[in-house]
Amino acid sequence: MEDLRDAIKRLSKWFARPIVEGEHPTLHLNPNSTNREVINGIQRDDYIFSACGNWIVPSAEHGLSFSAHWQHLKGIHRMKSKRNPGKRVHVYWVLEKADIPDGLEFIADPRDRRKQHYFLAVTKKMTVSELRSKLEWVADRMSVIRDAQDAL
Protein backbone atom coordinates (compact mmCIF):
# COMPACT_ATOMS: atom_id res chain seq x y z
CA MET A 1 0.00 0.00 0.00
CA GLU A 2 2.84 2.42 0.79
CA ASP A 3 4.40 1.67 -2.62
CA LEU A 4 1.15 2.61 -4.35
CA ARG A 5 0.92 5.90 -2.42
CA ASP A 6 4.52 6.75 -3.29
CA ALA A 7 3.94 5.93 -6.95
CA ILE A 8 0.83 8.12 -7.07
CA LYS A 9 2.71 11.04 -5.50
CA ARG A 10 5.31 10.87 -8.28
CA LEU A 11 2.70 10.99 -11.02
CA SER A 12 1.59 14.22 -12.59
CA LYS A 13 -1.93 15.32 -11.66
CA TRP A 14 -4.32 12.37 -11.84
CA PHE A 15 -8.11 11.96 -11.71
CA ALA A 16 -9.89 8.83 -10.46
CA ARG A 17 -13.42 7.43 -10.15
CA PRO A 18 -14.37 4.45 -7.97
CA ILE A 19 -16.82 2.30 -9.93
CA VAL A 20 -18.85 -0.69 -8.71
CA GLU A 21 -18.01 -3.87 -10.60
CA GLY A 22 -20.24 -4.33 -13.63
CA GLU A 23 -20.86 -0.61 -14.15
CA HIS A 24 -19.36 1.55 -16.88
CA PRO A 25 -16.68 4.06 -15.76
CA THR A 26 -18.24 7.09 -17.51
CA LEU A 27 -21.83 6.17 -18.48
CA HIS A 28 -24.93 4.95 -16.66
CA LEU A 29 -25.84 1.89 -18.72
CA ASN A 30 -27.56 -0.03 -15.92
CA PRO A 31 -30.99 1.52 -15.21
CA ASN A 32 -30.80 0.29 -11.61
CA SER A 33 -27.46 2.01 -10.94
CA THR A 34 -29.08 5.40 -10.25
CA ASN A 35 -32.42 6.77 -9.13
CA ARG A 36 -31.91 9.86 -11.31
CA GLU A 37 -33.01 10.41 -14.90
CA VAL A 38 -30.58 9.04 -17.50
CA ILE A 39 -30.57 10.15 -21.14
CA ASN A 40 -28.49 8.10 -23.59
CA GLY A 41 -26.32 6.84 -20.72
CA ILE A 42 -25.75 10.33 -19.28
CA GLN A 43 -27.18 11.18 -15.89
CA ARG A 44 -29.24 14.35 -16.21
CA ASP A 45 -27.86 15.84 -12.97
CA ASP A 46 -24.25 15.52 -14.15
CA TYR A 47 -24.52 17.96 -17.06
CA ILE A 48 -26.75 20.85 -18.12
CA PHE A 49 -29.13 19.76 -20.85
CA SER A 50 -30.85 22.21 -23.21
CA ALA A 51 -34.62 22.66 -22.86
CA CYS A 52 -35.20 20.24 -25.76
CA GLY A 53 -32.88 17.65 -24.15
CA ASN A 54 -30.77 17.17 -27.29
CA TRP A 55 -27.82 19.41 -26.37
CA ILE A 56 -25.33 19.69 -23.50
CA VAL A 57 -24.52 23.26 -22.46
CA PRO A 58 -21.02 24.14 -21.15
CA SER A 59 -20.68 24.55 -17.39
CA ALA A 60 -17.70 24.71 -15.03
CA GLU A 61 -19.96 23.51 -12.20
CA HIS A 62 -21.22 20.28 -13.79
CA GLY A 63 -19.68 17.09 -15.12
CA LEU A 64 -18.63 13.62 -14.06
CA SER A 65 -17.09 13.59 -10.59
CA PHE A 66 -13.44 12.67 -10.21
CA SER A 67 -11.12 12.62 -7.23
CA ALA A 68 -7.75 14.34 -7.55
CA HIS A 69 -6.42 13.59 -4.07
CA TRP A 70 -5.74 10.36 -2.20
CA GLN A 71 -7.99 11.19 0.80
CA HIS A 72 -10.93 12.23 -1.39
CA LEU A 73 -10.60 9.02 -3.40
CA LYS A 74 -10.54 6.92 -0.22
CA GLY A 75 -13.72 8.59 1.05
CA ILE A 76 -15.64 8.07 -2.20
CA HIS A 77 -14.43 4.47 -2.43
CA ARG A 78 -15.57 3.82 1.15
CA MET A 79 -19.01 5.31 0.40
CA LYS A 80 -19.46 3.20 -2.77
CA SER A 81 -18.37 0.06 -0.92
CA LYS A 82 -20.90 0.66 1.90
CA ARG A 83 -23.74 1.36 -0.55
CA ASN A 84 -22.95 -1.82 -2.52
CA PRO A 85 -22.18 -4.53 0.04
CA GLY A 86 -20.62 -7.66 -1.39
CA LYS A 87 -19.63 -6.00 -4.66
CA ARG A 88 -16.08 -5.15 -5.63
CA VAL A 89 -15.24 -1.50 -6.32
CA HIS A 90 -12.60 -0.75 -8.96
CA VAL A 91 -10.81 2.58 -9.37
CA TYR A 92 -10.61 3.95 -12.91
CA TRP A 93 -8.07 6.71 -13.38
CA VAL A 94 -6.42 8.92 -15.96
CA LEU A 95 -3.49 11.34 -15.90
CA GLU A 96 -4.03 15.05 -16.42
CA LYS A 97 -1.75 14.96 -19.44
CA ALA A 98 -3.93 12.33 -21.10
CA ASP A 99 -5.45 13.25 -24.41
CA ILE A 100 -8.97 14.34 -23.43
CA PRO A 101 -11.38 14.90 -26.36
CA ASP A 102 -11.99 18.43 -27.60
CA GLY A 103 -14.85 20.06 -25.69
CA LEU A 104 -14.09 18.29 -22.38
CA GLU A 105 -11.81 19.46 -19.58
CA PHE A 106 -11.02 18.59 -15.97
CA ILE A 107 -12.14 21.56 -13.89
CA ALA A 108 -11.81 21.92 -10.12
CA ASP A 109 -15.16 21.93 -8.33
CA PRO A 110 -15.63 25.61 -7.40
CA ARG A 111 -17.28 24.55 -4.12
CA ASP A 112 -14.24 22.52 -3.01
CA ARG A 113 -11.72 24.84 -1.34
CA ARG A 114 -9.12 22.05 -1.12
CA LYS A 115 -9.29 21.29 -4.87
CA GLN A 116 -9.65 17.54 -4.32
CA HIS A 117 -12.86 17.14 -6.35
CA TYR A 118 -12.91 17.77 -10.10
CA PHE A 119 -15.50 17.60 -12.85
CA LEU A 120 -14.96 16.25 -16.33
CA ALA A 121 -16.85 19.25 -17.69
CA VAL A 122 -18.17 20.23 -21.09
CA THR A 123 -16.45 23.39 -22.39
CA LYS A 124 -18.38 23.85 -25.62
CA LYS A 125 -21.94 23.06 -26.66
CA MET A 126 -22.40 19.57 -28.11
CA THR A 127 -25.16 17.07 -28.77
CA VAL A 128 -25.96 14.40 -26.23
CA SER A 129 -24.73 11.73 -28.64
CA GLU A 130 -21.42 13.62 -29.11
CA LEU A 131 -20.91 13.74 -25.34
CA ARG A 132 -21.70 10.05 -25.05
CA SER A 133 -19.09 9.22 -27.72
CA LYS A 134 -16.50 11.37 -25.97
CA LEU A 135 -17.23 9.77 -22.58
CA GLU A 136 -16.87 6.32 -24.16
CA TRP A 137 -13.55 7.45 -25.66
CA VAL A 138 -12.31 8.59 -22.23
CA ALA A 139 -13.44 5.32 -20.61
CA ASP A 140 -11.58 3.26 -23.22
CA ARG A 141 -8.34 5.01 -22.26
CA MET A 142 -8.67 4.87 -18.47
CA SER A 143 -6.46 2.60 -16.40
CA VAL A 144 -8.02 0.49 -13.67
CA ILE A 145 -7.03 -0.77 -10.23
CA ARG A 146 -9.23 -3.84 -9.79
CA ASP A 147 -10.82 -4.42 -6.39
CA ALA A 148 -9.07 -1.34 -5.01
CA GLN A 149 -9.98 -1.99 -1.36
CA ASP A 150 -6.57 -3.50 -0.61
CA ALA A 151 -4.73 -0.64 -2.33
CA LEU A 152 -6.69 2.05 -0.48
Task: Quote the CA–CA distance of 67 and 73 in Å, as a whole number.
Answer: 5
Query: Does residue 108 or residue 147 have the better pLDDT?
Result: 108
Query: pLDDT tens across 81-127, in order?
Result: 999 999 999 999 998 777 799 999 999 999 999 999 999 999 999 99
More confident residue, 150 or 106: 106
Q: 71-82: per-residue pLDDT in tens?
A: 999 999 999 999
pLDDT tens across 48-65, in order? 999 999 999 999 999 999
Residue 106: what pLDDT?
96
User: Can you list the positions of beta strands (E) in the chain?
Assistant: 14-20, 38-39, 42-43, 48-49, 55-57, 64-67, 89-95, 104-108, 117-122, 126-127, 143-145
- Tell me the pLDDT tens digit for each residue of 3-36: 656 666 666 688 999 999 999 999 999 867 677 8
pLDDT at site 130 = 98
pLDDT-derived band at 1, boundaries 50, 70, 90: very low
Identify whether the C-beta of residue 93 lies closer than 8 Å to the C-beta of residue 14: yes
More confidently predicted of 152 and 26:
26
Give 145's pLDDT tier (boundaries 50, 70, 90): confident
